[in-house]
Amino acid sequence: MRRRHTVVLDLTERCNLRCVMCYFSTTDRLRFPPFGRELAPNGNMPLATFERIAATYFPHAWRVALGCAAEPLIHREFGTFVRIAGRYRIPELWFPTNLLALNEEKAEAIVDAGVHTVAVSVDGMRAETYEKIRVGGRFAQLEERLALLNEARQGSRTRLRIIFTWMRSNRAELQLLPAFAAAHGAAEIDVRFVTPTVGVDNAAELLANEDPGALDAELAAAAEEAVRLGLRLAYYPGFETPEDREENLVALARRALWRMRAGLYRWEYFDYELAKWRNGCAYPGRTYVIRPNGAVAPCIFWNDPPLALLPEMERAEVDRRLAPVREGLRNGEPIGTCVTCTVRGDAFYQPFRGDETRPLID
């Protein structure tokens, strides 16, 4: 069976931190439309719903994310969920997390399920910075949880990725990220800019008005150090300017080899570009975003009402409802959120200029 789909699941509407740049800085529960619908009063996805989604969508999925907008590890049944997902031998089963809710049982379940990547959001390489940004978190606890995960994953396929959201409060600590990631056994780093977020005033943290040349230089230095230490750049802002790109063949070959080592040339990028060229966007028809209340959207950027509801709808009906989004993009007549989407057809990181927002990859 050919696996081409991506499934992005939120297992809960809650988080255990109140990070300064995040919507959870002002709320303890992120409700998803339709707002009057919930499958459980605590905002968690019920086990029966997850089992049905897994049986229907996971056999066809190449990538499944057990988290997106909230903190998956705080779900009381996370260990059960990840073991269920593991039965489907998904090539890229992963989840983003702040890791603070990890315990021995969950760590064992993650490894037993064959999770491909645990992506840990850190944002501060020093205790003072981390605790200022990730309100409610303790740096010492983070390091304890990283040690617990590393002990559990010894000899397994599970990789560690460190996510770093770059902002004014931690600007200088980008240069410390490669050493921190390497010291904690990470295989990859993921750097992204903080972006304007609905429901929270994080304008003071934006780097949008900083000198782009200085930002590029800082990004380039961190990237070079990361690759020197053997880390891959899972996702990374663009930092090269046209002036950086020498035109002679030797320079071009050297640059290409470096980018291969860095992980910036991967088959999925070319597959993504092909899908974008053929369909107008790489997401609709290939991606299912499923929220804790069962709402389904064609991508993580969809702001219109959900197009389907689980678990009651069969997959054929879900696909029928998603089809007009795909066809509209293919025919140059987008509908819904696609009409005004600023990242349509391009959700990988590109050079940061002005006040552009940087999307999250699913």
Per-residue pLDDT for 161 more than 60?
yes
User: Is residue 27 pLDDT above 80, yes or no?
Assistant: yes
The mean pLDDT of the chain is 90
Domain ranges of the chain: 5-339
**Percent of the chain whose predicted confidence (pLDDT) is above 90:** 76
Q: What's the rounded mean pLDDT across residues 189-207?
A: 92
Q: What is the pTM of this model?
A: 0.91
Minimum mean pLDDT among 92-96, 147-151, 204-208, 281-285: which range?
281-285
The three-state (H, E, C) secondary structure of the chain, written as one string: CCCCEEEEECCECCCCCCCCCCHHHCCCCCCCCCCCCCCCCCCECCHHHHHHHHHHHHHHEEEEECCCCCCHHHCCCHHHHHHHHHCCCCCEEEEEECCCCCCHHHHHHHHHCCCCEEEEECCCCCHHHHHHHCCCCCHHHHHHHHHHHHHHCCCCCCEEEEEEEECHHHHHHHHHHHHHHHHCCCCEEEEEECCCECCECCHHHCCCCCCHHHHHHHHHHHHHHHHHCCCEEEECCCCCCHHHCCCCHHHHHHHHHHHHHHCCCCHHHHHHHHHHHHHCCCCCCCEEEECCCCEEECCCCCCCCCCEECCCCCHHHHHHHHHHHHHHHHCCCCCHHHHCCCCCCCCCCCCCCCCCCCCCCC
Q: Identify the architecture of domain 5-339 in CATH.
A: Alpha-Beta Barrel (3.20)
pLDDT at residue 264 in the model: 86
Q: What is the reported pLDDT for 343?
A: 64
